[in-house]
Amino acid sequence: MKNLAHVVTFFGKPGGKTASGVNYNSNDLRVIDTQLELIQRSMHDGVIVLWYGDVDPYINEACENFLFLCEKRQMLFALCVDPWAMGANKATMTVDQKNTKWTVLLGLAKPFFSSPAYIPEKYIIDFATGADIPTVIKQNPGFQILRTYVEVAWPKVSAGLDSKANLIQQNSTAIIPGVMHSFSDYDPKTPANSIWGGPARRIDGQDGLFELDVMKAPVGPQATYRQRITFNDYFERTHVERDLINDALRLGLDVTPLL
């Protein structure tokens, strides 16, 4: 099974949120090349990149640059469609409107699909956009759209839920199972609140046992890739990038673009 790292591409975006200690621009080719070097050194075969479609030119450019450098490095690449790809009015859109937007996005994604770096199955991931994906597939035959929490495992965080057992269960049937070390989305300014609004959420890493137990659990024969959740999401503190930067510095490697 090949390993793919989930990458977010919104750092340095004008008007965007800032994360503590993250000083780079996600669309910078030098930054991306250094990130891919770390990802390769950590035994990952490629990336799943969070994409906002035509809604955000900055993030789209970052995704295009990731694709370009994955081609150069002979790494794998895939897109994950963020809910914000539906547009600024996503909260008031009907399901039919979101389905129509997905058809537009599939058209925009064709240059990505045509790249030799894109995973051969041409999977594109729906990250809970609110569209009716089975209907979208019927309306766009030939496209392979996978859903988070169904075909793509993703941790669920809610009161009273055993997040580890849930992720293990998802992994047993997922085409793309997932692994992570922990989760915490508190806002440093108001730690009781999530940076996204509402109460802060947390999954205890259990001194590394959360990840170890998930890795030890079996996955089904349908699994083709394992997703690292995540490489660099500092807002939800699932990132491994900073540890990899520290390891690289200890080895004397140049990671200046990420510092």
The pLDDT of residue 160: 85
C-alpha–C-alpha distance, residues 101 and 86, integer Å:
6
The pLDDT of residue 16: 87
Domain boundaries along the sequence of the chain: 2-181+221-258
DSSP the chain: -EEEEEE---TT-TT----TT----TT-HHHHHHHHHHHHHTT--EEEEEE-GGG-HHHHHHHHHHHHHHHHHT-EEEEEE-GGGG-TTGGG--HHHHHHHHHHHHHHHHHHHTSTTB-TT-EEEE-S-S--HHHHHHHSTT-EEEEBTTTB------TT--HHHHHHHHHHH-SB-EE-S-EE-EETTEEEEETTSSB--EE--GGGHHHHHHHHS---TT--EEEES-SS-TTTT---HHHHHHHHHHTT---GGG-
Take residue 196 and report the two structure tokens written for it: 């996204």
C-alpha–C-alpha distance, residues 229 and 238, integer Å:
6
Q: Encode the chain (259 residues) as per-residue pLDDT tens digits.
A: 999 999 999 999 998 888 988 999 999 999 999 999 999 999 999 999 999 999 999 999 999 999 999 999 999 999 999 999 999 999 999 999 999 999 999 999 999 999 999 999 999 999 999 999 999 999 999 999 999 999 999 999 987 899 999 999 999 999 999 999 999 999 999 999 999 999 999 999 999 999 999 999 999 999 999 999 999 999 999 999 999 999 999 999 999 999 9
The pLDDT of residue 49: 98
Answer yes or no: are the C-beta atoms of 7 and 50 closer than 8 Å.
Answer: yes
The pLDDT of residue 18: 86
Q: Residue 26 carries which side chain, given as an amino acid letter?
A: S
The pLDDT of residue 30: 98
The pLDDT of residue 116: 98
Quickly tell me which residue has 């809604």 as its tokens. Answer: 55
Pair type for strands 190-194 and 186-187: antiparallel
The pLDDT of residue 20: 87
Measured CA to CA in angstroms, residue 181 lies from 6, 34, 122, 195, 229 at distances of 13, 22, 28, 19, 8
Q: Please list, residue by residue across 180-197, b when 16 or more beta carbons sit within 10 angstroms of its beta carbon and e when fewer do.
A: bbbbbbbeeeeeeebbee
The pLDDT of residue 159: 79
The pLDDT of residue 85: 97
